[in-house]
Amino acid sequence: MVQLKVYLYLVFMTQAALLTFFLAAQPYPDAWEAYDATYYRPACPQIEDLIQEDIPGFEYSNEDCLHLNIFQPNRTDEENLLRTYPVMVFLHGGGFKKGSAVQYPGIVLAQRDMIVVTLNYRLGPYGFLSTEDSTVPGNMGLTDQRMALAWVKENIHHFHGDASRVTLIGHEAGAACVGIHMLSALSRGYFYRAIMMSGSDLSSWAVMDTPQHPREYASQLASVVGCNPEPGEAMIRCLRSRSPPDIVNAAEKVSLRGGHYGESAGPFAPIVDYFDDQWNWLRKSPKELRKDPRNIMKVDVMGGFAKDEGAWILQKNFSHVFADIQSGVSELEFMSVIHNVTRRRRARDEEQVADAIKFLYTWWVNPDNSTARRKMLIDVFTDELYASGVDSAMKSTVRALQDTNKNAYMYKFDYRSETDNRSSYWMGELSPLFSLVLILRVVMGSPVLSIYLWCMSQLYYITNILYNIFIGAYHNYDVQFLFGWPYLAANVTYQKLSSININRQYNELDRNISNGTMRMWKDFAIYGNPIPVEGESSMPMNFHNLTWYPMNISNLTYFELDYNSTNEKEYHQSLLAFWQDYIYDILYLEPYTTTPIYSTTYKYEQYLIATYSLAALLTLALVALALVSIALIRSRGPPPIRKTAYY
């Protein structure tokens, strides 16, 4: 086992700069001094529930947060004393408003002869508020990341790191930041390979253009905390006088405003900051910049997402909608969730857009299949929020790299542990129930009871497998395997050092998949190829005799990472094209204001029903009128006989 040196939360920004808030921070002075790097420093100001999911009771966030962690292999043999290691710099996710480096310990990954650097950057209004002028230009969180990269370039050699082999990795919001760094001249020369996991600069939530009103969001925030909402120095001074908890709680009350139809970034996210003379990160939107290949950094790139990213959204945001989601999703429940999507995208005609989504995500083999409808609903969120952005950025990158010796590799993480049901009490080879079976067998000598309990444990085990078929590889799942959670969970010392609470069991297959994931990410960082030698025999079991083909614009190859991994091509291209392009056309369509000509059977039938109903009513009215007329005539009796002169 490789020993490690761990340096926790080395400072790379001055605290004085942090106390000014909303401005670009300044590098820490060059002078080296004694520093206690044996414990984790605070996370940046945020609502702390996300961190508490991994680290229960974590309540340690404040403005003095711009620190980084370094996990270094500690090889003491003479041959390795002068060795340098490739470097992975990881940017956490969390929607630009949550997250911390403390959630991603590089302990296990660094044992694969890598130096792992994790860092904090400012979040929410502290990282991304903008007045759209020089008062507060915005994108302070991006500047924090760039400062950390500069620190790594200048100092990583002190930790046996190779500054010419730095790979920048990001997950979700962190992946969007990686994409922005690839487009910005400010980040040139600070990294040489890039990995975007579950997001990119082209994700719909990644970047705000100025029509999306970042200035108005700053005013809203000021109003909530009792400051003058007129953007300017006075407003910013007032905001600085408010405490971080007041600011981050107020940010949750800032509502998205209309702007570009279909965009869902904000209210505090990276912006197009063409007005910033000092830190001009994006002079145009990423979509516009990527139209010119010269704007894209020419580095090897990897990008991908987990198979069922959208499952966590159903669980977190829509659990109240479903009567029994494990049994399936009804059509009414499906449309209720879809209408939420159209409202979030600010569609002018929600019904028209919802019908389009329903048509695309219906399993037409059996449209009434409730479990298929559930899977399609998961795919809606996976494709809309994660896969479409990654796919767009990767295709753009492949085109930009065509005349270079660089490559792009895409993946879909399909593996789901059979021991993972979010509550591991009954599951796994070392579960308490399985242990109880062994104890009873030995102590009580009761084979009947132990066999009964063993059968019960297998029943739960099988139920769990069926549950996993529904959930699949959810959001953040690939990151867990990249950072070696199956190994962290099995080592008490690792868990204490990381502070991560892993409340579940892993089995040997999980550790094998994790080992293979770490190996491929490491090989990409070193060689620019996740599997540099075809059929590499030193690869972990389940990854022997594999080749990961680079993405090709003609067939859009991607690697399906599972216990039986394969190369596939053209993931959901028709569906992704809807989210990437066509949805923006139909979001602008106005609701019908004149009588349309309907062509669907359903609406044609409605016209027939209305016509026949009206005809029936008219017929009844005519019959009633005739009957009334007859009754009136009869009520008068026969006409009187008139006498004449003839009698």
DSSP string, 96-154: TTS--GGGS--HHHHTTT-EEEEE----HHHHH---SSSSS-S-HHHHHHHHHHHHHHH
The tally of domains found in the chain comes to: 2
Does residue 344 share a domain with residue 220? Answer: no
Asked, for residue 601, whether it belongs to a domain, the answer is no
Q: What is the separation of C-alpha 31 from the centre of its chain, rounded to a whole number of angstroms?
A: 39
Res 12: pLDDT: 61
Q: Which residues contact 422 (CB under 8 A, 6 or more apart)?
A: 504
pLDDT digits (tens, 9 = 90+) for 243-280: 999 999 999 999 876 544 455 677 999 999 888 777 78
Residue 566 sits in a domain whose CATH number is 3.40.50.1820
Using pLDDT thresholds of 50, 70 and 90, give the confidence band for residue 494. Answer: confident
pLDDT digits (tens, 9 = 90+) for 512-568: 999 999 999 999 999 999 998 765 556 777 788 889 999 999 999 999 999 999 999
Instruction: Say how many Å lie between the first and final Cα of the chain, rounded.
Output: 141
Please check whether residue 146 is in contact with residue 36, taking contact to mean a CB–CB distance below 8 angstroms: no
**pTM, to two decimals:** 0.82
Using pLDDT thresholds of 50, 70 and 90, give the confidence band for residue 18. Answer: very low
Mean pLDDT calculated for residue range 180-191: 97
411 three-state secondary structure: strand
Does residue 338 share a domain with residue 204? Answer: no
pLDDT digits (tens, 9 = 90+) for 111-148: 999 999 999 999 999 999 999 998 999 999 999 999 99
Does residue 314 share a domain with residue 258? Answer: no
Closest CA to 187 of 219, 232, 236, 152: 152
Res 79: pLDDT: 63
Res 522: pLDDT: 96
> Which domain does 101 fall in, by range?
4-162+174-285
Does residue 227 share a domain with residue 314? Answer: no
Alpha-carbon gap, residue 262 to 212, rounded angstroms: 11
Least confident interval from 375-389, 396-410, 449-463: 449-463
Residue 583 buriedness (CB in 10 A; 0-12 / 13-18 / 19+): buried
Please check whether residue 380 is in contact with residue 357, taking contact to mean a CB–CB distance below 8 angstroms: yes
Asked, for residue 449, whether it belongs to a domain, the answer is no
Percent of the chain scoring above 70 in pLDDT: 77
Output the average pLDDT for the chain. Answer: 82
Please check whether residue 389 is in contact with residue 206, taking contact to mean a CB–CB distance below 8 angstroms: yes
Does residue 247 share a domain with residue 141? Answer: yes
Place of tokens 């400072």: 11
Vertex 71: Cα angle to 67 and 77 (nearest 5): 145
Asked, for residue 625, whether it belongs to a domain, the answer is no
Using pLDDT thresholds of 50, 70 and 90, give the confidence band for residue 399. Answer: very high
Alpha-carbon gap, residue 429 to 366, rounded angstroms: 38
Does residue 358 share a domain with residue 320? Answer: yes
Closest CA to 411 of 387, 384, 378: 387
Domain boundary among 541, 559, 587: 587
Asked, for residue 371, whether it belongs to a domain, the answer is yes
Res 254: pLDDT: 93
Res 419: pLDDT: 85
Check pLDDT > 50 for residue 354.
Answer: yes
Alpha-carbon gap, residue 108 to 129, rounded angstroms: 36
Using pLDDT thresholds of 50, 70 and 90, give the confidence band for residue 579. Answer: very high
Does residue 337 share a domain with residue 199? Answer: no
Does residue 256 share a domain with residue 358? Answer: no
Does residue 341 share a domain with residue 235? Answer: no
Does residue 217 share a domain with residue 83? Answer: yes
Please check whether residue 562 is in contact with residue 553, taking contact to mean a CB–CB distance below 8 angstroms: no
pLDDT digits (tens, 9 = 90+) for 594-639: 544 444 444 444 555 666 677 777 788 778 877 877 777 777 665 5
Mean pLDDT calculated for residue range 193-214: 91
Does residue 323 share a domain with residue 272? Answer: no
Mean pLDDT calculated for residue range 185-196: 97
Q: What is the separation of C-alpha 159 from the centre of its chain, rounded to a whole number of angstroms?
A: 32
Residue 499 has which token pair?
Answer: 């502070």
Cα R_g (the chain), whole angstroms:
31
Residue 591 has which token pair?
Answer: 């609701």
Alpha-carbon gap, residue 168 to 178, rounded angstroms: 7
Check pLDDT > 50 for residue 106.
Answer: yes
Residue 21 buriedness (CB in 10 A; 0-12 / 13-18 / 19+): buried
Domain boundary among 587, 602, 632: 587
Asked, for residue 504, whether it belongs to a domain, the answer is yes
Domain boundary among 587, 617, 636: 587
Q: Which residues contact 272 (CB under 8 A, 6 or more apart)?
A: 207, 208, 209, 210, 282, 283, 284, 285
499: region left, alpha or beta (phi > 0 left; psi from -120 to 50 alpha): left
Check pLDDT > 90 for residue 212.
Answer: no
Does residue 269 share a domain with residue 327? Answer: no
Res 554: pLDDT: 92
Check pLDDT > 80 for residue 16.
Answer: no
Is beta strand 300-306 parallel, antiparallel or unpaired with respect to 193-197?
A: parallel
More confident of the two residues 27 and 364: 364
Asked, for residue 618, whether it belongs to a domain, the answer is no
Q: Where are the beta strands (DSSP E) in 434-556?
A: none
99: region left, alpha or beta (phi > 0 left; psi from -120 to 50 alpha): left
Alpha-carbon gap, residue 114 to 72, rounded angstroms: 7
Please check whether residue 44 is in contact with residue 29, taking contact to mean a CB–CB distance below 8 angstroms: no
Residue 464 Cα distances to 323, 467, 470, 485, 486, angstroms: 20, 5, 10, 20, 18
Alpha-carbon gap, residue 128 to 463, rounded angstroms: 45
Res 276: pLDDT: 72
- Other C-beta atoms closer than 10 Å to the C-beta of 554 total 7
Residue 385 has which token pair?
Answer: 């929020």
- Other C-beta atoms closer than 10 Å to the C-beta of 542 total 16
More confident of the two residues 604 and 421: 421
pLDDT digits (tens, 9 = 90+) for 439-491: 444 444 455 554 544 454 444 444 444 444 567 899 999 999 999 999 998 88
Alpha-carbon gap, residue 482 to 415, rounded angstroms: 12
Helix axis angle, 140-155 to 173-183, nearest 10°? 70
Residue 584 Cα distances to 204, 260, 345, 346, 577, angstroms: 11, 9, 9, 11, 11
